[in-house]
Amino acid sequence: MRIFIALCFPEMIKKRIFKQIEDISQEYLGNYTTYDNLHLTLHYIGEIDNSLLNKVITEVRRIDFKEIEIIVTGIGSFKNSESKRLLHLEVKKSQELINLHKRLMIALKKAGVKIDSEDFTPHITLGRKVEIPIEQVKNLQIENLIFGVKKISVMESARVGKDLVYSELA
């Protein structure tokens, strides 16, 4: 199974973010994130077996974690291809978010996860393969969002038919 570690959002925040996705998708073609899949990835692990999954869950639960503040500062993009972009909400890389990511990396290594990269660019994916010129991305606006997240989630990423479905495992 494919696993990643994420911060999931309160329903009120998901509704506000999804409204932004609906507005953008009216204007630009792309593969947009579904309401239920909205999250901030702390680390993508990839394919693991059940034995390693159990160790990951145990170590993630041991992370000292209280509420963390997430600050959305704008809309940005990463290049998917020459004409398509991964559109995302930019998240301020606060010291508490950096520290949480470091504690997570230690926990995952302790669980036996092979870490290829500890790079961390906090963002919330709005859509993949969005057909939007970079100049237009700069014109997209979103109100600044500040909200708290109270837990870390171990998530599974699975294909159900044509749909990508994220499920919280722990």
What would the mean pLDDT of 108-125 be, rounded to a whole number? 94
Whichever domain contains 42, its CATH number is 3.90.1140.10
Of the candidates 148, 152, 168, the one whose C-alpha atom is nearest the C-alpha of residue 13 is 148
Element housing 57 (H / E): helix 50-61
- 14-24 burial code (b ≥16 CB/10 A, e <16): bebbbebbeeb
The pLDDT mean for the chain works out to 94
User: What is the pLDDT at residue 144?
Assistant: 81
Q: Residue 41: pLDDT above 80?
A: yes
pLDDT in tens, 5-28: 999 999 999 999 999 999 999 999
The confidence band for 143, taking pLDDT boundaries of 50, 70 and 90, is confident
The total domain count for the chain is: 1
- Containing structural domain, residue 17: 2-168
Average pLDDT, stretch 131-146?
89
Whether the Cβ atoms of residue 117 and residue 106 lie closer than 8 Å to each other: no
Q: Looking at residue 37, what DSSP letter applies?
A: G
